[in-house]
A and B are shown apart, each in its own frame.
Chain A
Amino acid sequence: AQSVTQPDIHITVSEGASLELRCNYSYGATPYLFWYVQSPGQGLQLLLKYFSGDTLVQGIKGFEAEFKRSQSSFNLRKPSVHWSDAAEYFCAVGAQDAGKSTFGDGTTLTVKP
């Protein structure tokens, strides 16, 4: 069965600093990978997705993520964080045999002024 681990429950960065959120997955075949963001009181919004091809994918709001098969990772990055990026971030893996996506526990991002 597939699984997703987000090792960091909470991360605090200063506005303007770079950001990296970690995601490790477990799945025997090629995974479909997603990052979602959830602002307080809202549903989840897709930031970016990886299916195949170029291992560096670009998303909305200046985010990017890199798929590393050898490390089973799909880390999310942003070069310069804005205060509006404060939210909870979820990594998800889609598995064909399960017929659904499995979500990590999320990482809460706090942005310091």
Chain B
Amino acid sequence: KAGVTQTPRYLIKTRGQQVTLSCSPISGHRSVSWYQQTPGQGLQFLFEYFSETQRNKGNFPGRFSGRQFSNSRSEMNVSTLELGDSALYLCASSLGPRQLYNSPLHFGNGTRLTVT
């Protein structure tokens, strides 16, 4: 079974631009969550989607948004990029919303975003 796939692996953007990251979950997994990882803040929860609906949201500004498609694939978008948005963005999938806290998360290898 294929794992969680994130594209692209690396991105370089300039301040003020916007960016879209993509995540394909493990087949059969309907929940997708996103995390931001930085050396200073560690792993920070961004949001979680299930059945095309955002079910949980972390403490991030509205510039960070996401969506999920009917095939469970998910995208996250960051608008008006700031230098502080440079990070590794990780996507994780799990079976369903009730499993987000009591089941292991399956992570992709992440997208490394650099904002210059």
Q: Do A and B bind each other?
A: yes
Using a CB–CB distance below 8 Å, which chain A residues touch chain B?
A: 32, 34, 36, 41-46, 49, 51, 90, 94-96, 98-106
Q: How far is the CA of A10 from the CA of B75 in the complex (A)?
A: 34
- Of B13-21, B66-74, B77-85, B104-112, the segment with at least 4 beta carbons within 8 Å of chain A is B104-112
Whether the pair A106, B42 counts as a contact (CB closer than 8 A) is: yes
Cβ–Cβ contact B108 & A43, under 8 A: yes
Q: A100-B101, A101-B101, A103-B43 provided; 7 other pairs, C-beta below 8 A? A: A36-B105, A46-B105, A49-B104, A95-B101, A99-B97, A102-B45, A104-B42
Q: Are B100 and A90 in contact (CB under 8 A)?
A: no
Is B56 interfacial (CB 8 A cutoff)?
A: yes
Closest to A93 in B: B101
- Check B102 against A51 for contact (C-beta < 8 Å): yes
Whether a CB of chain A sits under 8 angstroms from the CB of B4 is yes
Q: Closest approach, in angstroms, between the C-beta of A46 and any C-beta of chain B?
A: 4
Q: Which residues of B lie under 8 Å from residue A94 when comparing CB positions?
A: 100-102
**Please, how many angstroms separate the alpha-carbon atoms of A18 and B56 in the complex?**
39
Secondary structure dominating the interface of B = strand
Q: How far is the CB of A13 from chain B (nearest CB, A)?
A: 22
Q: Give CA–CA (A104, B38) in the complex, Å.
A: 13
> A100 touches which one: B56, B106, B107 (CB < 8 A)?
B56
Q: Once the chains are docked, how many angstroms separate the CA of A104 from the CA of B100?
A: 17
Q: Residues of A contacting B43 with CB < 8 Å?
A: 90, 103, 106
Is B63 at the interface (CB under 8 A from chain A)? no
| CA distance in complex: A100, B48 (Å) | 9
Within 8 Å of chain A (Cβ to Cβ): is B33? yes
Would you give the shortest CB distance from A62 to chain B, in whole angstroms? Answer: 18
| Closest chain B residue to A98, Cβ basis | B101
A41 B100 Cβ-Cβ under 8 A: no
